[in-house]
Amino acid sequence: DVKVTQSSRYLVKRTGEKVFLECVQDMDHENMFWYRQDPGLGLRLIYFSYDVKMKEKGDIPEGYSVSREKKERFSLILESASTNQTSMYLCASRKGLAGDTQYFGPGTRLTVL
């Protein structure tokens, strides 16, 4: 069965802290994605990666960076967390490009105080 896991379900951090969110998929998918989901704004793409060590900016990359050193793992980094980064963060993976299904992890609800 398809599985995407995220390192934490809930996280509370302080303004200015460096935050790491990790995502692991066991489906040998090439593509991985990080989204944030906010009420009234839907899911917005932060970054995606289509191969190891490759990354592309999504719609809202400011304040975030990513790392993909291994095919199964995609990390989202908040270099200096701010209160406006309080959100639900969802990781997803997909085998191919356009026509394949995205599989989502359970999400990490991050609160920045």
Which residues contribute to the site for another protein (CB under 8 A)? 31, 33, 35, 40-43, 45, 48, 50, 58, 90, 94, 97-99, 101-107
Q: What are phi and psi of 48, to 5 degrees?
A: -140, 165
**What is the closest distance, in whole angstroms, from the C-beta atom of residue 48 to another protein in the complex?**
8
Return the number of the residue (47 or 81) whose C-beta is nearest another protein: 47
Instruction: Tell me whether residue 74 or residue 107 sits nearer to another protein (CB atom).
Output: 107
In whole angstroms, what is the distance from residue 69 CA to residue 52 CA? 6
Shortest Å distance, C-beta 31 to another protein: 7
Nearer to another protein, 17 or 30 (CB): 30
Residue 16 vs residues 36, 48, 82, 100, 105: alpha-carbon distances, Å? 19, 24, 6, 38, 26
**C-beta neighbour count of 16 within 10 angstroms:** 10
